[in-house]
Amino acid sequence: MSAIEFKDVCRTFRRDGKDLLILDRINLTVADKEFVAIVGPSGCGKTTCMRMAAGLEFPSTGTVSVSGKQVIEPGPDRAVVFQQFALFPWKSVHENIDFGLRAKGLPETERQKIIAHYIGLMNLKGYESAFPHQLSGGMQQRVAIARAYALDPEALLMDEPFGALDAQTRVVMQEELVKLARKNPRTVLFITHAVEEAVYLADRVVIMTSRPGKVKEILDIKSVRETENWDQHQKIEDVMDLASFVHLRSRIWKSLREEHAGDH
Amino acid sequence: MFVGSRLSTVLLVLAAMIVLWYVATTITGLVGPARLPQPLEVWQSFVAIATDGYGNGRLHQHVLHSLKLVAMGFTVAVCVGVPLGLWMGHSRRAEALINPTFLLLRPIPPLAWIPLAIVWLGLGDAAKILVIFVAAFVPSVINSYTGVRNIDKPVLEAARMLGIRRFSFVREVLVPGSLPMIFTGLRLSLQASWTTLVAAELIGALYGLGSILNQAAQDIYPAMIMVAMIFVGICGATTTWLLGQVEARAMPWRHERALQ
Ligand SMILES: Nc1ncnc2c1ncn2[C@@H]1O[C@H](COP(=O)(O)OP(=O)(O)O)[C@@H](O)[C@H]1O
Ligand SMILES: [Mg+2]
C-alpha cells in the first residue's frame, strides 16, 4: 500500500478577487518507507503540497490520503519538520521531544527510552535541559527532527528543513539525515529547492513545473545509488564528485532551468 | 555583582537628589518653604505620622489599607482579565462577541467611573476597589489577547500536529506562549491600580495614602503631602519589583543565558 497518495489534487487561492490556480492535477504516490524529494521553482506550490499531506491545508479538488485514510486534520501519524523549526521556546529539548509522546499517552518508561534513543541519534546528549534559544540553528533543527522521528509516524513531512541553516551546518545535517534515513527507513516527503540535497537524500526526485505547479517528471535515484554504491562514502562531497551523481544533478538542473525560462 | 552595582547606582542617585533638595531649600533658600518643604520637616512629619498618626491612623495603617485595596482590585482584574483576553485571542467568536463592548468601554478613563461607583457602592472600600478593578482590567485583557495573537503560527501548527488535546493545549501552549505579553499587561495593570487608588482615595476616604494627601492639602501641610507621595512611590516600586520576581520565575526560558 502506498503511504502517501495525491490523487488529482488541484488547489486554487483567491488573490485580488481572482481565483489563482496554484496546483494543477497533482498525482503522486510515495511508497511505504520511501524517501521522495520534491524540487521546483519557488512559488510552484511545494509547501502547499506538504501542508495538504499534513492536514494543515486542503485541496480544492482531488484527495490526499496517508496509509489509505483521507487526510482531514493534522495528527502525530504525519510528523512535520518545519523550516523555522517551530519548537516550543518554553520547553526544554527533552520536553519538546516528550510533548508528542505524552499526547500519544505512552507510559513514562517507554517515553524516556524513546527520548534517550533520539537524543543520542541526533547528537543532543548533554543538552536535554537546554531551551531552544540557547542552541544553534542546526541543533534546534536536530531537536525538531528528533521530535518528529520520536512520534514513530507513518509519514515524515519536511519542508526545506535545512533552508534556514548556514552552508556548513546544512552539510552536516544532510549527512546525519542520510544516516538516520538509511538506518531507520521511513516514508518521507521532503521539500527542497536545492538540487544536490534532493539527489543526495532521496530515493526518487519529483520535479515540478512553475505555477501552476504540475508534476513535470519523476527520477529514480535509488537504483543509481545502489548500483553505484553511493552509501559507501561517508562525506557528501565524495558522493557529489561521482559521475553518476553529477549526471543526475545536471539532468534536474536542466529541467528546472526550462521552468525558469518559461517564467516570463 | 550586577545586582549590587545596580542597587548602589540607585542609592547614589537618591542620595544626590536629597543633597540637591537640601541645598535648594535649607542651605541657599532658593526654593521657599511655601513651595517645597525642607528635608528635615519631611523627616519630622514622617516620624509624627509613623508614631502618633495623622488623619485617622498611623502610617502603617494607611499603607496597609492602600495595599489591601490595590491587591484586591488588581487580583480580581487579573483573574478575570487574563482569561478573557486569552479566550478572545484564541476564539474568533469570543472576539466578535466581546470586542465591540470592549472598544466602547476602553476610551472611558477609569476615573470617570468614580461617580458611578459611589452611586452604586457608596463611599466605602467597595467603590474604590471597583474603580481600581476597572483601571487594571483593560491592560490585562488587551495584552493577554495580543499575547495569544503573537504566538508563532508554526508553533501552533506544531502543537496540532503533535496531537495535543484541548486542556493541555491551554496549559502547555496558549498560556506559556502568551506569558511575555501577559506580564506586560500585569505590569501596566499594577501601575494603573496605584494611579487610580490615589485618585479614588482623594474622595471620602478615612484611611489610605490618598486620604493623607487629601487631609494634608486641607491642612496646608506640604511636608505631610510629600511623605504620602514618597510612600505611594515606595509602594508602587516595591509591588512592581515583586511582580518582576514572579515574572522571572514564571519564565525561566527567557532568562537562561546562551550556552558555550
Ligand atoms: N494561504 C494562502 N493564501 C493565498 N495564497 C497562498 C496561500 N498559501 C500559498 N499561497 C500561494 O501559493 C503559491 C505557492 O506557495 P507555496 O506552496 O508556498 O510555494 P513553494 O513552497 O513552492 O515556494 C504562492 O504563490 C503563494 O503565494
Ligand atoms: Mg515553500
Domain identity same for A43 and A148: no
**Which ipTM score applies to this complex?**
0.89
Query: Which is nearest to B197 in space by CA: B235, B230, B159?
Result: B235
- Residue A178 in domain: yes
Residues A7 and A37 in one domain: yes
Are B155 and B126 spatial neighbours (Cβ–Cβ below 8 Å)?
no
Condensed to tens digits (0 to 9), the pLDDT of residues B202-232 reads: 877 889 999 999 999 899 899 999 999 999 9
Looking at residue B229, what is its pLDDT?
94
Of the residues A102, A121, A152, the one at which a domain ends: A152
Nearest ligand, measured from the Cα of A57: 1
Residue A95 in domain: yes
The number of domains in chain A is 2
Domain regions of chain B by residue span? 54-259
As a whole number of angstroms, the distance between CA A155 and CA A59 comes to 19
- DSSP letter at A132? G
Contact yes or no for A151 and B162 at CB 8 A? yes
- A58 phi/psi in degrees, rounded to 5: -130, 150
Domain boundary among A132, A152, A172: A152
pLDDT value of residue A109: 95
- Regarding whether A96 and A12 lie in a shared domain, the answer is no
φ, ψ for residue B41 (rounded to 5)? Answer: -60, -45
pLDDT in tens, A74-103: 999 999 999 889 999 999 999 999 999 999
Class of the domain covering B54-259: mainly alpha
* A12 CB near ligand 1 (under 6 Å): no
Residue A157 lies in a domain: no
Q: pLDDT tens digits, residue range B157-176?
A: 999 999 887 778 999 999 99
* A194 shares a domain with A147: no
Of the two residues A163 and B179, the one the predictor is more confident about is: B179
- Picking from A50, A73, A88, A133 by the largest number of B CB atoms within 10 A of its own CB, the best residue to mutate is A88
Distance B104 CA to ligand 1 centre (A): 38
Residue pLDDT, tens place only, A26-53: 999 999 999 999 999 988 999 999 999 9
Residue entry with cell 531551551: A131
Across B109-117, average pLDDT: 89
Instruction: Tell me if A86 and B160 make a contact (CB, 8 A cut-off).
Output: no
**The C-alpha cell that represents A214 in the structure block:** 504540475
Q: Are residues A141 and A172 in the same domain?
A: no
Residues of chain A with C-beta less than 8 angstroms from the C-beta of B250 = none
Q: Are residues A34 and A124 in the same domain?
A: no
For residue A27, give the CATH number of its domain. 3.40.50.300
Q: What is the pLDDT at residue B257?
A: 67
Residue B1: what pLDDT? 46
A64-83 average pLDDT score: 92
The reply to whether ligand 1 has any atom less than 6 angstroms from the CB of A3 is no
A158 lies in a domain?
Answer: no
Asked whether residue A66 is assigned to any structural domain, the reply reads yes
Is the CB of residue A39 less than 8 Å away from at least one CB of chain B? Answer: no
Mean pLDDT of chain A: 90
Instruction: Quote the domain boundaries for residue A140.
Output: 85-152
Note whether A169 and A254 are same-domain residues: yes
Residues A87, B259: C-beta atoms closer than 8 Å: no
Q: A179, A129 in Cβ contact below 8 A?
A: no
Both A171 and A248 in one domain: the answer is: yes
A175 shares a domain with A123: no
Banded model confidence at residue B2, pLDDT cuts 50, 70, 90 = low
Phi and psi at B92, nearest 5°, equal -60, -35
Of A152, A185, A207, which residue constitutes the final position of a domain? A152
Pair A10, A107 in one domain = no
Do A38 and A98 lie in one domain? The reply is no
Bin A118: left if φ > 0, else alpha if -120 < ψ < 50, else beta.
alpha
- B121 touches A: beta carbon within 8 Å: no
pLDDT confidence tier of residue A17, bands split at 50, 70 and 90: confident
Are residue A25 and residue A131 in the same domain, yes or no? no
Which pLDDT does position A229 carry in this prediction?
87
Mutant choice from A47, A51, A77, A90 vs B, greatest count of B C-beta within 10 A: A90
